[in-house]
Amino acid sequence: MQYLLLFISTVLVNNFVLSYFLGICPFIGVSDRISSAIGLGLATTFVMTMTAAVSWFINHKILIAFNVPFLQYVSFILVIASLVQLVEMFVRKTSPPLYRALGIFLPLITTNCAILGLALLSALRDYGFLQSVVFGIGAGVGFTMALVIMAGIREQLELADVPVNLRGAGITLITASLLALSFMGFQGLIKG
Amino acid sequence: MAKTPTPLGKEFTKGLWAQNPILKQVLGMCPTLAVTNSAVNAFAMGLATSFVLLMSSTLVGLVRKMVPSQVRIAVYVVIIAGFVTIADYFLRAQFPDISRALGPFVPLIVVNCVILGRQEAFTSRNPVGRSIVDAAGMGVGFTLALIVMGSVRELLGNGSVFGVTLLPQVFERWTIMLLPPGAFLALGVLIGTSNLIAARRQRRAPAAQ
């Protein structure tokens, strides 16, 4: 029950993109087609889940055990970079079609602040191992959902007559504002 | 070495407007949206980011010839992460309130694309002195854009700027401006406005360029 609550709150109430502002760069950059949004979302969810698990081990079994917490940022970012590299190699060997679908998005994930944010937040909140993993999956699902909804809106937006100066980033951000506003409606869901 | 020698002054000022990291390059969005609910937070974030940018550009500029190009990104990231750790520990020790308000966004400077982007696009192919000037300009431009965002949101959402109340109580506070939707809206309008100003300028002086 506790895990279900954590999952729902991460996906809907505290959505990574719309209420924590993590992963905005891909949210603005890759959200113009639904198909690429799904691809990026899936790849990110996968890396997030792995990162949550691995960074928990690094944090608790190495950094805290040897009392070197100041290495946290350096080691987390190295974990993420190598994880992305590993995932890329693994997918290329095992499933070429999936690789072709996700290929271009994989390297982009390293610089997605949502991943590092996830590792830092779960360290900050002192989550247990299972909690971290659920948090990772929830964050990934929430990210994918926000990205896909945004891509759907933007495909429609192409037909609209947008003022010249707002085209591109401007109108995307204003759309995101409305989306965030509607996601605020979920706030009563958890705390009651 | 320098094929088209730009004057150093211009190297600095391009970060302020023409290539402003937030308004023109649309980089570093996450901190821009997250910590600009008050002008003070925005200012602190801008300073921390500028510090990391300046120090990393200096160090990367000094070692760039020694680093093989295959592993350069990893080296840059480790350098940046090192300086971010310094900035974070400094804030925690000296300004615990601000550090708490910024939360995980100080460590997240590591993945701020403005910083890595400058290393890759500028520092890796320019002499150290020039890179430092470029980093200073970008840092100031980033900080200014952040302060504008923070001031607008604080003024509309709380009636004050830098904690000084400016609007009378009669003015209904727009609390929504302090919440996530307000952040997206403010940045969208800000980018639109800066595009409008740039377009106006270009129309007024078409012969100049």
Q: Measured between CA atoms, how close is A191 to chain B, in angstroms?
A: 18
The predicted structure's pLDDT at residue A135: 94
Q: Return d(Cα B124, Cα B127) in angstroms, integer.
A: 8
> Would you tell me how many other CB atoms lie within 10 Å of the CB of residue B199?
12
How much is the average pLDDT of B107-117? 84
Cβ-based burial of B2 (10 A; exposed 0-12, middle 13-18, buried ≥19)? exposed
**Which DSSP symbol is given to A112?**
-
B-chain residues near A81 (CB < 8 A): 74, 77
Question: B14 or B83, which is more confident?
Answer: B83
Q: Which two tokens stand for residue A69?
A: 């917490």
Label residue B2 by pLDDT band (50, 70, 90): very low
Beta-carbon pairs below 8 A across chains A and B: 114
Residue A145 has pLDDT above 90, yes or no: yes
Q: What is the band of B50 on the pLDDT scale with cuts at 50, 70, 90?
A: very high
CA distances from B157 to A136, B74, B173 (A): 33, 41, 5
> What is the reported pLDDT for A129?
92
Report the run of H or E that residue A59 belongs to, with start and end. none
Closest partner residue to A121 among B104, B189, B195, by Cβ? B104
Write out pLDDT tens, residues B171-201: 888 888 888 899 999 999 999 998 898 888 8
Confidence label for B1 from pLDDT (cuts 50, 70 and 90): very low
Looking at chain B, which residue has its C-alpha nearest residue A180?
Answer: B181
* pLDDT for position A104: 65
Where does the pLDDT of residue A139 fall: very low under 50, low under 70, confident under 90, or very high at 90 and above?
very high
Q: What percent of chain B has pLDDT over 90?
A: 32
SS3 label, residue B162: coil
Tens digit of each residue's pLDDT (9 = 90 or more) over A56-105: 999 988 888 888 888 888 888 888 888 888 878 887 888 787 777 666 67
Amino acid letter, B129:
G
For residue B198, what is the nearest residue in chain A, using CA coordinates?
A165
DSSP state of B67: S
- Helix/strand/coil for A148: helix
Domain boundary assignment for chain A: 29-184
